[in-house]
Amino acid sequence: MSSGRAEHKTMYLKPSQLFQETMKRGYYRRVFLGFSFTDEYARVAINRYPSCRASSNGEFPRDKTLLDNLVDVVQSLQVEECWLLGIIVEDNNSVKDIHNLMDDLCNKGALKCLKYTCWKHDIESEL
Give residue-wise pLDDT tens across range 15-57: 889 888 877 766 666 788 999 888 899 999 988 766 666 777 8
Residue 123's pLDDT is 43
Those residues with Cβ within 8 angstroms of residue 16's Cβ, 6 or more apart along the chain or in another chain:
126, 127
The answer to whether position 89 is within a domain reads: yes
122 pLDDT above the threshold of 50: no
In a domain, 83, yes or no: yes
| pLDDT tens-digit series, residues 80-100 | 777 888 899 987 666 678 888
Which pLDDT score is estimated for 83?
A: 80
Residue 110, in any domain of the structure: yes
pLDDT-derived band at 60, boundaries 50, 70, 90: very high
Over range 1-25, report the average pLDDT. 74
pLDDT bin (cut points 50, 70, 90) of residue 71 is: very high
Residue scoring higher pLDDT (68 or 98): 68
Domain annotation covers residue 81: yes
In a domain, 108, yes or no: yes
Residue 3 maps to a domain: no
pLDDT on residue 2? 43
Q: Radius of gyration of the chain from Cα atoms?
A: 14
Give kind and range of the element (H or E) at residue 35: strand 30-37
pTM: 0.79
In this predicted structure, the answer to whether residue 78 has a pLDDT above a threshold of 60 is yes
Instruction: Give residue 33's identity as a one-letter amino acid code.
Output: L
In the chain, the number of structural domains is 1
* 58 assigned to some structural domain: no
Q: Is 3 exposed, middle or buried (0-12, 13-18, 19+ CB in 10 A)?
A: exposed
Enclosing domain of residue 83: 9-50+67-120
